[in-house]
Amino acid sequence: MKRPVWKEPSGKGCLIVLKIVVLGSSAGGGSPQWNCNCPVCRQVRAGAPGTRPRTQSSITVSADGENWFLFNASPDLGHQILSNSALHPAKGERHSPIVGAVVTNGDVDHVTGLLTVRESHPLAVYGTSRVQSVLADNSIFNVLNPEYVERRILKMGQPTELKTKDGKSAGIIIEPFTVPGKIALWLEDESAGENFGSQPEDTIGLKISAKDGDEHFFYIPGCASFPPELAERLTDAPLVFFDGTLWQDDEMKTSHVGVKTGNRMGHMSNSGPEGTVAAFAPLNVKRKVFIHINNTNPILIDNTPERAEVEAADWEVSYDGMEITL
């Protein structure tokens, strides 16, 4: 099939299949977090060498350079749109290249950006029935006028062609799958036992593919552990964006900023025998990129030993504005 011609801002045309832009590379709170004085936040805030500020977790993907889907919608979305010219209005008095959003869980850092795109603009919002019911139960999301915003339910394991509100293909196929995770922090129910009422569809990963081509990648910004079926799914993948929240499980405690472990928050750590770097070592993934990185994590700073360790294992640490073309 004939591939679309990507029109670069320079006016030059080139063949594209999928373009990915990292809108926000940090976890909830961003880096630096507004109220955090941990060693990493202090250095980022001071503009120390090897640091850069990062906004909250989201990517955007397009198969034609004109229509863009958000993958998660962060509270920093307004700033992220301003910083990325591909997302600026381009036609007429009211326009946005953003045609929809896919959310991978109901966390504050992944859904509240939906409130930023509420101004009578046609959108298709995809999520699991679990997350859609959470959004439906929270009346603040009623600002997304149903006349303009259609909420669509993702079924696990079912490849789904992303379409605009009016049914036009965006040229992107997603395949959702559950990953180990946790109910959103703001929905935790202490009385529900050890898992706080978590359900399987609270946290998903996505395989994101070009409709016209073999190009694909995986987006898994939250993951609590690494079962064999996930290892199998990711083996030989060309590109994986993966949960990079913490360097080590007790980092919030050792940074004196909190009492929760990564395990308690539903995030596996980068380091250690059970960690992400070790889990991916045998998988032959061509490009591995950490995203959703917490403000305490020393891999956020270019010249730390922890950064050197992940880079030695061929991991990249994403940054806001990072672009990857497949």
Give the pairing of strands 204-210 and 216-220: antiparallel
Q: Which two tokens stand for residue 308?
A: 């050197």
Residue 265 interacts with which of ligand MLT, Zn ion, Mn ion, none, CB < 5 to 8 Å by class = ligand MLT
CB closer to ligand MLT out of 222 and 298: 222
127 forms beta bridges with 153
Total residues contacting Mn ion by CB under 5 A comes to: 4
| 265 binds ligand MLT, rule: CB under 6 A | yes
Residue 252 · residue 279 · CB < 8 Å: no
Q: Give 266's Cβ-side CA count (13 Å radius).
A: 27
CB closer to Zn ion out of 276 and 295: 295
| 36 binds Zn ion, rule: CB under 5 A | yes
CB closer to Mn ion out of 99 and 299: 299
Residues numbered 16 to 55 that lie near Mn ion (CB under 5 A) are 27-28
Binding Zn ion by CB under 5 A: which of 38, 289, 299, 300? 38
Supply the minimum distance, in Å, between the C-beta of residue 168 and ligand MLT.
32
DSSP tag of 9:
T
| 106 binds ligand MLT, rule: CB under 6 A | no
CA distance 40 to 48: 10
| 237 binds ligand MLT, rule: CB under 6 A | no
CA distance 234 to 227: 11
| 187 binds ligand MLT, rule: CB under 6 A | no
Residue 65 · residue 19 · CB < 8 Å: yes
| 107 binds ligand MLT, rule: CB under 6 A | yes
| 44 binds Zn ion, rule: CB under 5 A | no
Residues numbered 73 to 132 that lie near Mn ion (CB under 5 A) are 107, 109
Supply the minimum distance, in Å, between the C-beta of residue 26 and Zn ion.
10
| 108 binds ligand MLT, rule: CB under 6 A | yes
Query: Nearest-CA neighbor of 40 among 309, 306, 227, 296?
Result: 296
| 109 binds ligand MLT, rule: CB under 6 A | yes
Binding Zn ion by CB under 5 A: which of 295, 298, 300, 320? 295
Beta carbons within 8 Å of 162's beta carbon, 6+ residues apart: 69, 100, 102, 124, 126, 169, 170, 172, 173, 174
| 27 binds ligand MLT, rule: CB under 6 A | yes
Supply the minimum distance, in Å, between the C-beta of residue 86 and ligand MLT.
26
φ/ψ of residue 76, rounded to 5: -90, 10
Residue 94: C-alpha distances to residues 32, 69, 107 (Å): 33, 18, 29
Interface residues toward ligand MLT, by CB under 6 A: 27-28, 107-109, 185, 222, 265-266
Interface residues toward Mn ion, by CB under 5 A: 27-28, 107, 109
